[in-house]
Structure 1
Amino acid sequence: AELEELEVAACPGCGSCSGMFTANTMNCLTEALGMALSGNGTIPAVDARRIHLAKDAGRKVMELLAAEIRPRDVVTKDSIYNAFVVDMALGGSTNSVLHLMALAHEAGVDFPLETINEISQRTPHLSKLRPSGDYHLEDLDLAGGIAVLMNELRDRLNLEVRTVSGKTLGQDIAGVRLRDGDVIRPLSNPHSDRGGLSILFGNLAPLGAVVKRAAVISEMMVHKGPARVFDSEDEATGEIIKGSVKSGDVVVIRYEGPKGGPGMPEMLAPTSLIAGMGLDREVALITDGRFSGATRGAAIGHVSPEAAEKGPIAALRNGDRVKIDIINSRIDVELSDDEIAQRLSQLPEFEPKIKTGYLKRYVQTVTSAASGAVFR
């Protein structure tokens, strides 16, 4: 009866999930990119303002067409930079890195992963929504939405970029005021001085990996432990349920990247089990797959190169000592470069799970997560 009571009240209405998960993260970032009208990121689905906004958006699309303004006129290196600044202040989903890198590729913009860490280091975390905090998206909307957040960040944003409103970003956010200094904190009182996401590099992820540092407790910001290696999500899930994963372990789930998955599935079941069993304070998880935006804990994803491309994660064996240092943006295994290379040379060639049709062609042409997992 108690479970049923929770189930019928869990979703109060239509729309996306109520936290700062992937859908809401990207919806908010469309405002920062200049590709959406103000309010688009946070107005609830059942709010009358959403209907008005939809009508305004339709009219604006026709105006933009008439003026021959194209997406590439709006999506520029400066606007992508702005999106990452807002992403850091929100503590957005790790999937935002994939999507924004893919968008940069389509726009012909070179945007190195290292730049994301530079943004994180100088952008404070101002709004802490689920799963990192206690607030929900509706609270962010009531506090003034993304326009208010960007106004707090105005000294860190490129304000002269064009937006679909026909104005500059600076003009779009002029005059908005902060309504709730806890849901959206001022720069003088951030949740942390660094942004909510970090890119990790090291001999385990030479091309990078991503973690939602905003959802990692302080005790797990630095963690060293033995690897528990699994070659699929299903294998890992089964062993976690059996209780095979112990305190201090580093769970490794590989061959779930863009090629290996194929399609880079999200590791929601393993991370949910680890959190549900109370192990998220003691166990880390790394994968060449990705995560749900609802994931919390020391969950490091998008490890690149992936196992299917003979990245170092493919060389890991049970018991190898893995060190995760989120504070210093590092992820390493206690093996020399020669040891890693020797192990990789002994591995058989990767055999795709699907050998026919569209997914076969996808596996042959998809790039690393580090570049957005796009087609070559």
Structure 2
Amino acid sequence: MSRPKVAIINSSSDMAACFSHLDDIVPVLKQHLRDEGLLPFEVSTIAPSDFITSAGRGGRYVLPSRDLIVNSIEAIVEGAQLDGMICLSSCDKTAPAHMMAAGRLDIPTVIVSCGYQRNALNEDGGADIEEVFLRASHGTQGNGGIDDLMELSEDAIRGPGVCAGLGTANSMHIAAEALGMAVSGSTPVRANSAKMWQSVASSAAALARLVKTNTTPRQVITPESVENAVRVMLSIGASINSVKHLQAIAREAGLTVDVWRLFRELGPKVPVLTAVRPNGPSRVEEFEDVGGAAVVLRELAPQLHLDALTVDGGTLADCVKAAPAADGSVIAPYGSPMSDQPSIRIVRGNLAADGAIVKLPVLEERARSFSGPARIFHSREEGIEALANGIVNAGDVVVLRGIGLVGGPGMGMASALVFALDGSGLGDQVAVVTDGQLSGLVNKGIVVGEVSPEAATGGLIGLLQDGDLIDIDLDRGTVDARLTADQIMARPAFEPVDAVRTDGLLDTYREVVTPLACGAVMCGVAAANGCSTGRGIHHGD
């Protein structure tokens, strides 16, 4: 009864490779925690995987599941008045959810990155999960048969862990280290490797120190550490989902930091130091082997707040001193970056008054502007069918709308349509504008995602008609429809074509979710920090 009581947050499932090894970590971690004088209790949550959870209702369960994890952690950990928690983070939504819960509960917490999967691309030149996802969407356009796809998928993934690329999962693991919430040098990491097991042990020791000194997440997650994380995300060309997840983490930690503005303003100032798939040719294994996130933090030191606290027990300055220098190939030195053009771009304009996101590769030359007539769809299935029937033409701006946070509800996945366009040969001949969300691996053509305000809350994207001209200029950071104020006023209000009703989670989500500017948080904490629900709310500069 005298020992501090801590939770092992195990977001585990055998439904996807991402989580299938977490149950094996728990007994080892329990022993480490007991050796440190703590009394551990395993606490389970749901375990959503984007590749699996995106099948039902057009992927609308993917983002709400993040907040379900947060709320379930609150109910158990706060309900039992536990003294700390150590979180086994794996797939896309678990790492941000764990950090959001840490910020909300403000009890000593350590995030453990549980690693990425073995894959054929790294081992014998085959394929990885990114290639499987791409080929699956190509199949909707008649390119490749199901037997070939099955054979590819069975060979691509050769062990447990998250997608082996710089998708959302690895991006958010790195973000945890940049924020100071994961032990230094622990990200990214191969699942079940000696390095992962060492991280499990050192994380248990770190939690014991945090409990002893009562160092809590709100001492670690500060405006300065959030800015550090934004700079690191920009420097590695992270997943676009890192924007809304970092915003949500900041809000749950009681901060009023505008993460969207940080990405927009810091983008031109932060050197891009690596080009890991899908941003470039390097594999995540190579990135890990030359030092990973710790090296990026060392190289970015001139721009970072080095006095930020970390769960290691010191400051970021201490961690930076221990990191090796950049190898000059996989990770470029600060003074000689791979690019000075941001891979993540926040764009604004009359079509995205509150902002939208564009992701570009690091080393590949790609068009930086696009103008064309709108071709409007209201579901990814409608768009894919139209594409197969030859209705989408080169030069079009494909608009997929009504699938945002409120309109979805839950923010539908637009990635399948983006990849189908690529499979049809139109990937670099059209642009895409959507209020839906995109996979962290998406990097095809000019795709403007997460347009805000969305169609369902009065955004101009909901008033567009087929043929309206749309201009995208990435150098200026703008996305606009060529409509006058009088034309806009004369348009009828947006009406959903196929409103999704579930009499369950998604309907609740529609009513209580806050806008992207507040991290799309499904709880009252954002309202307490200056946000309200997304219904009709406008958050501009």
What interval of TM-score do these two structures reach, taking the shorter chain for normalisation?
over 0.9
CA shift for structure 1 position 211? 1.0
Contact 1:230–1:254 (CA<8 Å) still a contact in 2?
A: yes
User: Which segments of 5 or more consecutive residues in structure 2 lack a partner in the other structure?
Assistant: 1-146, 523-531, 533-541
TM-score under structure 2 normalisation? 0.66
The structure 2 residue matched to 1:335, chosen from 483, 507, 518, is: 483
1:311 corresponding residue in structure 2 = 459
Q: How many residues align?
A: 375
User: How far apart are residue 272 of structure 1 and its match?
Assistant: 1.2
Mapped contact 2:407–2:496 kept (Cα < 8 A): no
Cα distance in 2, alignment partners of residues 145 and 207 from structure 1 = 33
Instruction: Using the TM superposition, name which of 34-43 and 235-244 deviates more.
Output: 235-244
The corresponding residue for 1:280 is 427
Stretch deviating more after TM superposition (135-144 or 80-89):
135-144
Check if 1:25 corresponds to 2:171: yes
Paired amino acid for 1:264: M
Hey, what's the Cα distance between the residues in 2 that align with 1:97 and 1:52?
Answer: 30
> Which residue in the other structure is 1:296 paired with?
443
| CA drift at 1:347 | 3.9
**Structure 2 residue 252 is matched with structure 1 residue 102:** no
1:183-211 CA deviation, whole Å, 9 max, x = no partner?
A: 11112322221322110000000000011
1:197 and 1:214 in contact (8 A); partners too:
no
Helix, strand or coil at the partner of 2:357: strand
Provide the rounded CA distance (Å) in 1 between the counterparts of 2:385 and 2:179. 41
Amino acid at match of 1:365: V
2:266 maps to amino acid: I
1:47 aligns with: 193
CA contact (8 A) 2:189 2:288 kept: yes
8 Å CA contact retained: 1:306, 1:314: yes
Which of 410, 413, 418 aligns to 1:266? It is: 413
Match for residue 212 of structure 1?
Answer: 359
- Is 1:326 the equivalent of 2:474? yes
The answer (yes or no) to whether the contact 1:206–1:304 under 8 Å persists in 2 is yes
Among residues 148, 152, 155, which one is paired with 1:6 in the alignment? 152
Cα shift at 1:355: 5.9
Pick the aligned partner of 1:370 from 517, 520, 523: 517
Question: Given that residues 215 and 296 in structure 1 are in contact (C-alpha distance below 8 angstroms), is that contact kept between their aligned partners in structure 2?
Answer: no
Aligned to 1:231: 378
2:42 maps to none
**1:170 aligned counterpart, secondary structure:** helix
Matched, 1:182 2:329: yes
Measured in 1, the distance between the counterparts of 2:293 and 2:494 equals 48
Distance 2:203 2:432 in 1: 41
Q: Which residue of 1 aligns with 2:81?
A: none
Give the whole-Å Cα distance in 2 for the aligned partners of 1:171 and 1:232: 49
Instruction: Quote the offset at 1:352 in angstroms.
Output: 4.8
> Contact 2:378–2:400 (CA<8 Å) still a contact in 1?
yes
* Deviation larger for 189-198 or 94-103: 189-198
Q: Distance in 1 between matches of 2:187 and 2:195?
A: 12
Give 1:52-63 correspondences, 5 Å limit.
Answer: 52-63=198-209
- Inter-partner Cα distance in structure 1 for 2:495 and 2:410: 21
Q: Deviations over 1:65-120 (max 9, x none)?
A: 22211111111111110001000011011100110111111112222222221111
Once the two structures are TM-superposed, the CA of residue 309 in structure 1 deviates from its matched residue by 0.5
Give RMSD over aligned pairs. Answer: 2.0
CA distance in 2, matches of 1:147, 1:24: 14
CA distance in 1, matches of 2:502, 2:191: 41
Letter in 2 for 1:80: V
Map of 1:57-76 to 2, 5 A cutoff?
A: 57-76=203-222
Give the TM-score normalised by structure 1: 0.94
| 1:144 corresponding residue in structure 2 | 291
Hey, what's the Cα distance between the residues in 2 that align with 1:37 and 1:179?
20
